[in-house]
Amino acid sequence: MRTITMLVILPVLAVLFASKAGALDNGLARTPPMGWLVWERFMCNTDCKADPGHCLNEQLFLDMGTRLSQDGWVELGYNRVNLDDCWSTRTRDKSGNLVADPERFPHGIQWLAEELNKMGVKLGIYEDYGTTTCQGYPGLIGHIQTDVDTFARWGVDMLKVDGCHSNHSTMNEGYPEIGRALNKTGRPILYSCSWPYYLRASKLPINYTYVAEQCNIWRNYNDIDDSWVSVTGIIDYYAANYELFGKVAGPGNFNDPDQLIIGDFSLSYDQSKAQMAIWCVLAAPLFMSNDLRNISDQAKEILQNKELLAVNQDPLGVQGQRYSVVGRAEYWMKPLQDGSKAVVMFNRTPFGDRRKMTVEFKDVGFTSTQRVMVRDLYLHSDTGVYNQSYSAFVNPAGGVVALKLSATTQPVSSFHNHMV
């Protein structure tokens, strides 16, 4: 998305009602997709002479695919490597086709996709519903079917479509047109849309039910950057707008709060745990943007937390929400298919020591007579069986306690005490 540039917008009535006819039909994203995306960490670094190890070239993407394959990521579901802006030449070829930059991608995109596939990794690519991309590379306008046919021929498995340098008033027709073009290729290509973000930026109405019919995942808010302020800004937007777009999320279509920056430069250990826990409760696509070649063991442990990933990948596919705020203490909950609840206690107090936080079981759907098994998803242990509530101390400045609550017939007992 980056800096928004748009053509003059004519007054139009946005599409407010639409049928399923012509909807995206690829059977993908039954749970939130996972993988690695280049943008936040490496952005549009094309200077491979000065910075060969960190520029956008085929070796960077092969390196990330290798790490996904060899370091335990693929078996956990992190099985995609995604290009973003700046992969192509500045102009199309004489036949009007997109061409990968020959110096940075000398073997071409099809070869890169094939090499990644050998590792069990799928390749995603980026384009823009505009005359040019955000960074000035060729856009899709006037070439939609040709370009998606090219991507299918190359073996691409995901397409992210941005919206810079575009007429926002035509997006309600344009993004579905791209989806129909993808359907025509006959190849299942996961479709990521930036459509709602640009409508919001232009104060145009958004029919999220229609968006969910046309896209597998979609962006609603600003690009993430490597800062806690950016992470909490996204969290606040998703908390405040759950009624607007949270309820349309489900198998096949998910809201995308943007990339995981765990393992980059800004987040503390507790803040990294918080981003992971909240993104999992949100049923968010989990696309890391970091350097997997030198990620810390601590960051890797957070991102590979199998119990939190199970919350994110729960087949019910419900987007969780913030259900209570007490001062700067927040409580988030996501219902799971087996009837249990994932709960995150999130302490945003920016000063002082840890604070006591309490989950009232009635607030998350249990009856007053039910006993509840409480499991800590970061400690990987059952804390005990409780009735009515559970309390824990939570660190300040972004600390979380992530729990799974399950009804049980076992007697009340405590195995591990968070109050120590």
User: Looking at 84, 128, 157, 162, which residue is catalytic?
Assistant: 162
What distance in Å separates the CA atoms of residue 69 and residue 56, rounded to the nearest whole number? Answer: 20
pLDDT value of position 92:
98
The alpha carbon dihedral of 281, 283, 284, 289 has a sign of: positive
Chain centroid to CA 291: how far?
17
pTM of the model: 0.95
Return phi, psi of residue 174, to 5°. Answer: -70, -45
Q: How confident is the model at residue 15 (pLDDT cuts 50, 70, 90)?
A: very low
Mean pLDDT across 317-330? 98
Q: How does DSSP classify residue 321?
A: E
If you average pLDDT over every residue of the chain, what do you get? 94
Query: In the annotation, is 223 catalytic?
Result: yes
Smallest CA-to-CA distance from 12 within 160, 174, 244 is with 174
pLDDT at 19: 39
Lowest-confidence range among 6-15, 250-259, 317-326?
Answer: 6-15
Q: What is the mean pLDDT of the segment spanning 40-55?
A: 98
**Active-site residue, 162 included:** yes
Between CA 98 and CA 87 the distance in angstroms is 10
- pLDDT band for 414, please (50, 70, 90 cuts): confident
Residue 23: the pLDDT is 87
Which uninterrupted H or E stretch holds 176? helix 171-185
Q: What pLDDT is attached to residue 16?
A: 37
User: What is the identity of the amino acid at 150?
Assistant: T
- Per annotation, catalytic residue among 223, 236, 363, 376: 223
pLDDT at residue 7, as a whole number? 41
User: d(Cα 255, Cα 257) in Å, to the nearest integer?
Assistant: 7
Percentage of residues in the chain having pLDDT higher than 90: 93
The answer to whether residues 95 and 106 touch, using CB atoms and an 8 Å cutoff, is: no
Position 44 pLDDT exceeds 60:
yes
Over residues 111-143, the pLDDT tens digits come to 999 999 999 999 999 999 999 999 999 999 999
Residue 262 phi/psi, 5-degree rounding, is -65, 130
